[in-house]
Amino acid sequence: MTFVRVATLSELETDTPKRVEVDGTPVSLVQTEGEVFAINDICSHANVSLSEGEVEDCAIECWLHGSSFDLRTGKPSGLPATRPVPVYPVKIEGDDVLVSVTQES
Ligand code: FES
C-alpha cells in the first residue's frame, strides 16, 4: 500500500472538505471530530464532487440530491444513492497528511 503526501494538517479546516488528487484519483479530505478522513470525491449516484457538500455527524452530504455518505465506511445513509463511495486509509506524520488509494495485494 503506497501512501502519498496530499496536504498538511494546517491546510485543513474542520468540517470543510478539501479536494485533492492521489495517483489520478479525486479524493475529498475531511477533518472532523478530531480525525482526518479520505473519501472518493465522486458521488456514487452521479458525477458530482462530494467536496462541495457539507460535513455533519461524520458524514459528507452530496449537494445535488442530499444523500449523505459515512466518512468511515463510505455507505450512504439514504436515497437516492444506494452504492457506497470508496474510502481510503489516512496516515498523519507530523503535520503531513498521507493517503493511500491502492489496495493491498
Ligand atoms: S448526485 Fe449525489 S445524491 Fe445524486
Is the CB of residue 92 below 6 angstroms from any atom belonging to ligand 1?
A: no
If one counts the domains in the chain, the total is: 1
**Domain range enclosing 78:** 4-99
Q: For residue 42, what pLDDT is reported? A: 98
103 pLDDT exceeds 70?
Answer: no
Inside any domain, residue 91:
yes
Query: Would 104 be classed as within a structural domain?
Result: no
Residue 48 belongs to a domain: yes
Q: Model pTM? A: 0.95
Dump strand ranges (E) for 9-67. Answer: 18-22, 25-32, 35-40, 55-56, 59-61
Is residue 81, in this structure, part of any structural domain at all?
yes
Grid coordinates belonging to 60: 459528507
Could you tell me if residue 39 is inside a domain? yes
Q: What is the pLDDT averaged over residues 84-101?
A: 97
What is the sign, positive or negative, of the torsion defined by CA atoms of 17, 20, 26, 32? negative
Task: Tell whether ligand 1 has an atom less than 6 A from the beta carbon of residue 80.
Answer: yes
Q: Give percent above pLDDT 70 in the chain.
A: 97
Q: Whose CA is nearest to atom 3 of ligand 1?
A: 65
